[in-house]
């Protein structure tokens, strides 16, 4: 069985398991230090839509079983359930396009075919990037790579840089930076999410993260992995600091985001040349890469062997990307400090709750009303971020 061989042969997998146990312990016994929703409720119309979707869509027990974090579900089953849910969402709420961004059609095709796309037209000025960097350094932050994992109180950026690998921010602090709000609520991002997901999107999570130099050690999301908390999810990622290959860029394994695409790039002869110390199964097949233990964490040598020619270093020249995060991806280890914005869209739910954390306290609509309209579509899309 792949999971046992991975544990035996890969020290990085054993380290990942140890860290996961620590995280689970923290989730169970430590208190969250961020403000969170005690009883998450939405307005009447949104609640009704969500109930209709829930009543008509049921995951079978295998797909929602926590064991899915260890041994991924069958990709064919996942795709069937994904398409079923997309259809149900479309039956209950149509996405109303205010502006037709026809120039983004090719970008949508890129994500569907390759798993990611570069968004040159979304690039902001160097002055605005510098403003984000400067302002964020003046805001107290958490010592985690995600804000919803914070079990210690916020401290100044300079202190986190000295003692942690990461820093992340409260939602209420992120939206205090005007340059970030203009990106977060840019209707083009929502339109891309709609076109790539196939239905009206759900704003799934938001994070402003600093990654600090780690002497080349692969920490957490700097290892190849898939994000499997949702049936379908896309990430908008923007590096504000200067990045290059080998220094804080983003790594994506092109065409590994679905079984059909991966099957086309899979080279069966790679089974003959893999180093035995990294082999976890005789004669790997395309489907096996969707059932890797621990979503791929700790298995970099295996993934690099089979897909070396498809590993792409992106997020260079401060050009943001949109990616299907079911494809293998990783954050490149930074040689210099790295500041990145991550906006997640999915079919439903929220990233904190999917990870076993509590939903972060939402932002009052009045605090961000200048950036987008209050209507049913936006109340549904941004329900996990904004309290209307």
pLDDT tens-digit profile, the chain (388 residues): 788 888 888 888 888 888 878 777 776 777 888 999 988 999 999 999 999 999 999 876 445 444 444 445 678 888 888 999 999 999 999 998 878 888 899 999 999 999 999 999 999 999 999 999 999 999 999 999 899 988 899 999 999 999 998 999 999 999 999 999 999 999 999 999 999 999 999 999 999 999 887 666 666 778 899 988 888 999 999 999 987 676 667 899 999 999 999 999 999 999 999 999 999 999 999 999 998 888 888 999 999 999 999 999 987 778 999 999 999 999 887 778 999 999 999 999 999 998 888 999 999 999 999 999 999 999 999 999 999 9
As to burial, measured by CB atoms within 10 angstroms (0-12 exposed, 13-18 middle, 19+ buried), residue 232 is buried
* Phi/psi at 340 (5° precision): -135, 145
pLDDT at 383 (0 to 100): 98
* CA pair distance 118, 371, nearest whole angstrom: 24
* Phi/psi at 321 (5° precision): -135, 160
Contact 151, 32 (CB under 8 A): yes
Q: Which residue has the tokens 């080279």?
A: 267
* CA pair distance 317, 118, nearest whole angstrom: 11
Q: What is the 3-state secondary structure (H, E, C) of the chain?
A: CHHHHHHHHCHHHHHHHHHHHHHHHHHHHCCCCCCECCCCCCCHHHHHHHHHHHHHCCCCHHHHCHHHHCECCCHHHHHHHHHHHHHHHHHHCCCCCCCCCHHHHHHHHHHHHHCEEECHHHCCCHHHHHHHHHHHCCCCEECCCCHHHCCCCCECHHHHHHHCCEEECCHHHHCCCHHHHHHHCCHHHHHHHHHHHCCCCEEEEEEEEEECCCCCCCCHHHCCECCCCCCCEEEEEEECCCCECCEECEEEECCCCCHHHHHHHCCCCHHHHCCHHHCCCCCCCHHHHHCCEHHHCCCHHHHHHHHHHHEEEECCCCCCEEEECCCCEEECCCCCCEEEEEEEEECCCCHHHHCCCCCECCEEHHHCCCCCCCCHHHHHHCCCCEEC
- Classify the phi-psi angles of 280: left when phi > 0, otherwise alpha if psi is within -120 to 50, otherwise beta: alpha
pLDDT at 293 (0 to 100): 85
pLDDT at 181 (0 to 100): 98
Contact 357, 148 (CB under 8 A): yes
pLDDT at 334 (0 to 100): 76
* CA pair distance 352, 358, nearest whole angstrom: 6
Looking at domain 2-40+94-387, does it have CATH number 2.60.120.620?
yes
Order of strands across the sheet that contains 321-324: 116-118, 321-324, 233-239, 338-346, 202-211, 166-168
Question: What pTM was estimated for this model as a whole?
Answer: 0.92
Contact 146, 168 (CB under 8 A): yes
As to burial, measured by CB atoms within 10 angstroms (0-12 exposed, 13-18 middle, 19+ buried), residue 163 is exposed
How do 250-253 and 329-331 pair as beta strands?
antiparallel
Domain boundaries along the sequence of the chain: 2-40+94-387
CA-atom Rg of the chain in angstroms: 20
pLDDT at 17 (0 to 100): 84
pLDDT at 70 (0 to 100): 43
* Phi/psi at 387 (5° precision): -95, 110
| CA neighbor of 260 nearest in space, from 327, 360, 343 | 327
């Amino acid at each position: 069985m792949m999971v046992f061989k991975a544990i035996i042969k890969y020290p990085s997998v054993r380290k990942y398991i140890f860290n996961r146990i620590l995280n689970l312990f923290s989730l169970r016994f430590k208190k969250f230090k961020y403000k969170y929703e005690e009883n998450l409720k939405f307005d009447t119309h949104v609640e009704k839509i969500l109930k209709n979707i829930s009543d008509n869509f049921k995951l079978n027990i295998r797909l929602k079983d926590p064991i899915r974090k260890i041994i991924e579900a069958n990709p064919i089953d996942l795709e069937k359930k994904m398409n079923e849910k997309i259809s149900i969402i479309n039956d209950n709420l149509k996405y109303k396009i205010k502006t037709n961004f026809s120039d983004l059609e090719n970008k949508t095709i890129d994500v569907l075919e390759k798993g990611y796309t570069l968004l040159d037209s979304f690039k902001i000025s160097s002055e605005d990037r510098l403003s984000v960097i400067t302002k964020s350094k003046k805001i107290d932050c958490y010592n985690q790579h995600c804000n919803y994992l914070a079990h210690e109180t916020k401290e100044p950026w300079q202190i986190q840089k000295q003692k942690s690998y990461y820093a992340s921010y409260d939602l209420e602090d992120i939206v205090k930076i005007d340059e970030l709000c203009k990106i977060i609520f840019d209707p083009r991002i929502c339109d891309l999410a709609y076109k790539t997901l196939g239905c009206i999107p759900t704003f799934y999570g938001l994070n402003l993260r600093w990654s600090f130099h780690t002497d080349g050690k692969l920490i957490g999301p700097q290892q190849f992995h898939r994000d499997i908390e949702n049936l379908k999810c896309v990430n908008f990622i923007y590096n504000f600091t200067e990045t290059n290959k080998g220094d804080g860029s983003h790594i994506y394994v092109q065409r590994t985001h679905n079984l059909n695409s991966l099957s086309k790039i899979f080279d069966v002869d790679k089974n003959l040349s893999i180093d035995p110390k990294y082999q976890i199964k005789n004669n790997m097949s395309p489907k096996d890469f969707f059932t890797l233990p621990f979503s791929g964490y700790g298995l970099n040598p295996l993934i690099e062997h089979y897909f070396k020619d498809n590993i792409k270093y992106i997020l260079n020249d401060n050009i943001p990307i949109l990616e299907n995060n079911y494809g293998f991806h990783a954050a490149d280890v930074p040689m210099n400090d790295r500041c990145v914005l991550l906006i997640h869209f999915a079919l439903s739910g929220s990233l904190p709750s999917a990870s076993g954390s509590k939903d972060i306290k939402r932002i009052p609509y009045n605090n961000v009303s200048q950036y987008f309209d209050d209507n049913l579509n936006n109340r549904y899309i941004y329900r996990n971020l904004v309290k209307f």
